[in-house]
Structure 1
């Protein structure tokens, strides 16, 4: 058996091809797995569980069907869909996880996260993230009418796109010190994250001469990236290419 990890699908009505690709994945590949982990930015944006868009309904039905087949799905919030709540997750048969969660996977300790908390060089984004994580502000936002929330979301997305065009690629990537702090702070063998859209398997040599790994998931708009893990190791696919890593027990 194996487990799947995906992230950064950014589902929206603007890309019906990606929606269909995800639905096909849930119907054809995911039922063969032990579990599915979605590490954030499943949706391009999320303004509340009460926003019953056609995309939200399609995804809900497909994930619930997967759950009914005995395959659990787990979700970590991304920077685009951090407002996904318990009500929607319950309808999907999906379990919400903490933003950084340690899981035991085939005998290995694995830290899973969306990845934006590792991008500490992007000071402007981290300041924005700190504000949006405030519980009182989220509750206040959800009290607004849907059309007002929609306008706010559109404005934030527009400003985000403009800001990213002026940022260097290095600033929007992970900070190596932030990565090393995770390995030093917890007894983990490797970590998995998305967010940067730069799929790769990075090896990290520790001071005790052991090797740890950082696995980065790609997006679905350009790369259709999927990570498959079993007892023998992992396979990371992106743009039709496959990276493999064997992991000893």
Structure 2
């Protein structure tokens, strides 16, 4: 059996073709998997489980059907959908995972992360992350009317795009928004693993690393902006491919 891992789908009504591709993947290949792990940013934005979007309803229906067929579905929050709650998770048949989480992946200890906490050089983002992960901030935000929350999400997206433009103009985009090697090494040490799987950076690759004399592997999952991306893992190893 094969375990499937995906992240950074950024599903959004503006890109219905990617939502359809995700539906085909869930109804097709995923039905033959032993588990599906979604490591964050399933949605472009998530402002609360009361959002009546058609995209959210479609995804919940397809994932619930997958889980109902006997394939466990696991979800880890990303930086775009960290407000996804237990209500939606139950509706979609998903089990919520802490970030980070260590699992047994075909006999190998694997560390799963969304990946944003590894980007420690992006100080401004880490400060924003700390604020928005605060339970008090989240309670206050979710108490606002849906329209206000949606407006905040649009403003945050525009601010993020503007900042990325500034980083590109300054020639710092590649370094600031990528993982910090020291943070990666620390993650391997802290969790006593030799396999790390994460998303967030949109730089899909399988990296062979030497961490204090130990052979380690870091797999970066791809995004779903232009195509699908999936990591397939079984007893023979890891295979990262586009759909």
1:99 match = 99
1:76 paired to 2:76 = yes
What are the Cα deviations for residues 167-212 of structure 1, in whole angstroms up to 9, with x where unaligned?
22111000000000011112112000000000001111132x3200
2:183 match:
178
- Are residue 200 (structure 1) and residue 187 (structure 2) matched? no
Instruction: Give the match's secondary structure for 1:56.
Output: helix
Q: Which residue of 2 aligns with 1:134?
A: 134
How far apart in 1 are the matches of 2:143 and 2:12?
Answer: 23
Matching residue of 1:236: 240
Distance 2:165 2:101 in 1: 31
> What's 1:18 paired with?
18
Matched residue SS, 2:175: coil
Runs of 5+ unmatched residues, structure 2: 168-172
In structure 1, list runs of 5 or more residues that go unmatched. Answer: 241-249
CA distance in 2, matches of 1:191, 1:14: 32
Count matched residues.
238
Corresponding residue of 2:147: 147
Report the TM-score when normalising by structure 2: 0.96
Instruction: Show the counterpart of 2:62.
Output: 62
Aligned residue for 1:2?
Answer: 2
Partner of 2:36: 36
Q: Is the 8 A contact 2:19 2:55 kept in 1?
A: yes
Task: Look up the match of 1:53.
Answer: 53
SS of residue matched to 2:74: strand
Give the match's secondary structure for 1:169.
helix
Instruction: Determine which structure has the larger helix proportion and give its number.
Output: 2
- Deviation for aligned residue 1:223: 4.2
TM-fit CA distance, 1:222: 2.6
CA contact (8 A) 2:18 2:227 kept: no
TM-score scaled by structure 1? 0.94
Q: How does 1:80-91 map to 2 (within 5 A)?
A: 80-91=80-91
Identify the structure with bigger relative contact order (alpha carbons < 8 Å, sequence gap 6+): 2
Shift of 1:120: 0.4
Q: Give the 4+ runs in structure 1 shifted more than 3 A.
A: none
Q: What secondary structure sits across from 1:170 in the alignment?
A: helix
Give the whole-Å Cα distance in 1 for the aligned partners of 2:79 and 2:136.
18
